[in-house]
Amino acid sequence: MYATAHRVLSPKNQVGVNTFLYLHGPEELHFDGRSIDKIWVSQAGALVAERLEILPGGGNRVLSYLDVVCRDETDPALIRSALQNVVDAIRPNQRPIVQSFPPGVSVRFECAGGLRHLETIEFATLSNSVQDILKRPSPPVWMGKEPLTVVVQREGDLVGLQLDEQGQRRVGLTHIVRLPAIVLNIDIDTLSLFERLHGELIRQVLPAVTGLSMERIREGGGAKIVRKGDGRVLWEWPLRG
């Protein structure tokens, strides 16, 4: 299990806490403080619940975060005990805090400089968010819905993006957006690299392609960018496991 709460600042200066819960099922993972980075990067598990105050992605800045890693079947009382032990260990200017407790509950906490001397209050806020999603997990609104498919193809010195036929019927829009090929490399075959290089650009372009806000796109199942010809998925949001 991987539960995480982030306080984030959006590009529009909105602040909120986003909380996510992932489960690992029967996977045999070694849960300890050293494994938190690995789990976050490549073995987060299957997303089963989320609580959002700020739309994820698109230039959000993380002001603080709290990660909890343990086995799916861990008694919630043991998680609460671990979190309380971390509260007792918080000291000014000593972060990130990474601690592990038997029988295999690991906790990591960090906050930005602007929250110095408010660490205990910030930890309590994030801890409450994590414990709340564990008690009342809310499945993501987009889960189980088919994402919109945007087909991308090269047109000489340009790259065109347009909804596929099914997407056009869903939103009633046949608009095509063209960008200089120099700013959008569609020959990338790795989702993570495409996101790193072009994720922010795609989030700015998608509303023009679909006629929908990013909030409505997410609520409707998200979107994916598919390369015409070989059907390669270059980008997907939200990213499915």
Clarify whether residues 52 and 127 are in a common domain: yes
- Tens of pLDDT, residue by residue over 195-233, are 889 988 999 999 999 999 999 999 999 999 999 999 999
- 8 A C-beta contact, residue 116 and residue 195: no
User: Does 142 map to a domain?
Assistant: no
Residue 198: give the domain boundaries. Answer: 148-237
113 and 13 belong to one structural domain: yes
Identify whether residues 156 and 225 lie together within a single domain.
yes
Residue at 143 is within a domain: no
Residue 26 lies in a domain: yes
Q: Tell me what pLDDT residue 32 has.
A: 55
Q: Does residue 224 sit in the same domain as residue 166?
A: yes
Residues 60 and 113 in one domain: yes
Q: Enumerate residue ranges in the chain where pLDDT < 50.
A: none
Q: What is the DSSP string of 88-109?
A: HH--TT--SEEEEETTTEEEEE
Q: Is residue 217 part of a domain?
A: yes
Establish if 87 belongs to a structural domain. Answer: yes
Look at residue 114 in the predicted model and tell me its pLDDT: 61
- Residue 61 belongs to some domain of the structure: yes
Looking at the structure, tell me whether residues 153 and 99 fall in a common domain: no
| Crossing angle for the helix pair 76-89 and 119-135, to the nearest 10 degrees | 170
Q: Are residues 129 and 30 in the same domain?
A: yes
Final residue before a domain boundary, out of 135, 159, 184? 135
- One-letter amino acid at 93 equals N
User: What are phi and psi for residue 220, nearest 5 degrees?
Assistant: -85, 0
- Number of domains, the chain: 2
Beta bridge partners of 17: 7
Query: What's the angle, vertex CA 9, arms to CA 188 and CA 95, rounded to 5?
Result: 95
CA dihedral 176, 218, 197, 210 (to 10 degrees): 10
Q: What is the per-residue pLDDT for 27?
A: 64
pLDDT at 160: 96
Calpha distance 10→62 (Å, rounded): 9
Cα 55 from Cα 203, distance rounded (Å)? 11
- Same domain membership, residue 118 and residue 37: yes
Residue 131 and residue 66 share a domain: yes
Indicate the residue among 135, 161, 196 that finishes a domain. Answer: 135
Instruction: Give the predicted TM-score (pTM) of the model.
Output: 0.81
String of DSSP letters for 213-229 = -HHHHHHTT-EEEEETT
**15 and 127 in a common domain:** yes
Task: Dig out the tokens for 55 from the structure.
Answer: 């739309």
Same domain as 68, residue 95:
yes
**Whether residues 115 and 167 fall in one domain:** no
Domain's final residue, options 135, 158, 190? 135
In a domain, 85, yes or no: yes
pLDDT in tens, 129-144: 999 999 999 889 898 8
